[in-house]
Amino acid sequence: AQSVTQPDIHITVSEGASLELRCNYSYGATPYLFWYVQSPGQGLQLLLKYFSGDTLVQGIKGFEAEFKRSQSSFNLRKPSVHWSDAAEYFCAAHLVNFGNEKLTFGTGTRLTIIP
Amino acid sequence: GAGVSQSPRYKVAKRGQDVALRCDPISGHVSLFWYQQALGQGPEFLTYFQNEAQLDKSGLPSDRFFAERPEGSVSTLKIQRTQQEDSAVYLCASSRGQGARETQYFGPGTRLLVL
């Protein structure tokens, strides 16, 4: 079945530490891939996206993600987190099923930052 | 510039009532999407409009859900005879181009609680 999986429901990281959020997809081809962030009471904001080409993608707020075809993964990273990064993070993939195309989201990873 | 706006931000309905949720997309955006986000889950696709045409409604959970975008700008999601399982955040997103591969800009959502 076509799906997006985020294995980690909740991650806690110390401020200034590095971060990696995992995302895997199940699809017959390489989809377009996205990472969104959702802060309380806010809409989802796009951090970065991968369509093709360079497998290391740079985004806003110092985030980057690496696409690995062999692992069907698109993990999000940040070298040094800030308290303001605390939020819910969603990985999404553009999937096509019987001619209908849509964004399919993972269940999200909640990020907590401790001082 | 103005982003995607949604109203109301919160709605409490008694079971069996009809509700209407409004989405004002970014001006000039061709595509408009509705998603349903249950507590602790990622957004789930409901329906997609390209201008005034509803091209995909495969995600609508039942015939109690109806969406329209009569003039190709503002959209309304209507839920008839609401049930408790309809309680969720309803997100609207718009994008400049056609299809789901374009960057989608999300509104803050309408939180619906059905009692």
Q: Which two tokens stand for residue A100?
A: 């209908």
* pLDDT score recorded for residue B41: 92
Interface test with A, best of B23, B32, B44, B104 (most A CBs within 10 A): B104
Q: Comparing A89-93, B91-95, B100-104, which segment has the lowest mean pLDDT?
A: B100-104
Q: Is residue A96 packed enough to be buried (19+ CB in 10 Å), middle (13-18) or exposed (0-12)?
A: middle
The answer to whether A92 contacts B42, with C-beta atoms less than 8 Å apart, is yes
* pLDDT score recorded for residue B102: 85
Residue B114 belongs to a domain: no
Answer whether A92 touches B (CB < 8 Å): yes
Homologous superfamily (CATH) of A3-114 is Immunoglobulins (2.60.40.10)
Residue B113 belongs to a domain: no
Q: Amino acid letter at B15?
A: R
CA distance B67 to B54: 8
Answer whether A103 touches B (CB < 8 Å): yes
Per-residue pLDDT at B63 exceeds 60: yes
DSSP label at residue B27: T
* pLDDT score recorded for residue B1: 56
Residue B56 belongs to a domain: yes
Question: Given A41, A90, A94, which is nearest B42 (Cβ)?
Answer: A90
On chain B, the residues whose CB falls within 8 A of the CB of A94 are 100-101
CA distance A26 to A31: 9
Answer whether A90 touches B (CB < 8 Å): yes
* pLDDT score recorded for residue B31: 95
B73 contacts: CB under 8 Å, gap ≥ 6: B24, B25, B27
Q: Where are the domains of chain A?
A: 3-114
Residue B33 belongs to a domain: yes
The answer to whether B91 contacts A43, with C-beta atoms less than 8 Å apart, is yes
Residue B83 belongs to a domain: yes
* pLDDT score recorded for residue B100: 81
SS (H, E, C) A41-101: CCCEEEEEEECCCCCEEECHHHCEEEEEHHHCEEEEEECCCCHHHCEEEEEEEEEEECCEE
Residue B115 belongs to a domain: no
Q: Amino acid letter at B22?
A: R
> What is the three-class DSSP state of B85?
helix
On chain A, the residues whose CB falls within 8 A of the CB of B33 are 102-103
Q: What is the largest CA-CA distance in chain B?
A: 38
Mean pLDDT in each 10-residue stretch from start to end of chain A (115 residues)?
92 97 91 93 90 93 96 97 96 86 94 96
Residue B15 belongs to a domain: yes
On chain B, the residues whose CB falls within 8 A of the CB of A101 are 56, 99-101
**The domain containing residue B16 runs over which residues?**
5-108
* pLDDT score recorded for residue B4: 95
Half-sphere exposure for B50 (CA within 13 Å, toward CB): 10
Per the structure, how many domains does chain B have?
Answer: 1
The answer to whether B59 contacts A43, with C-beta atoms less than 8 Å apart, is no
CATH assignment of the domain containing B78: 2.60.40.10
Q: Which two tokens stand for residue B53?
A: 């045409």
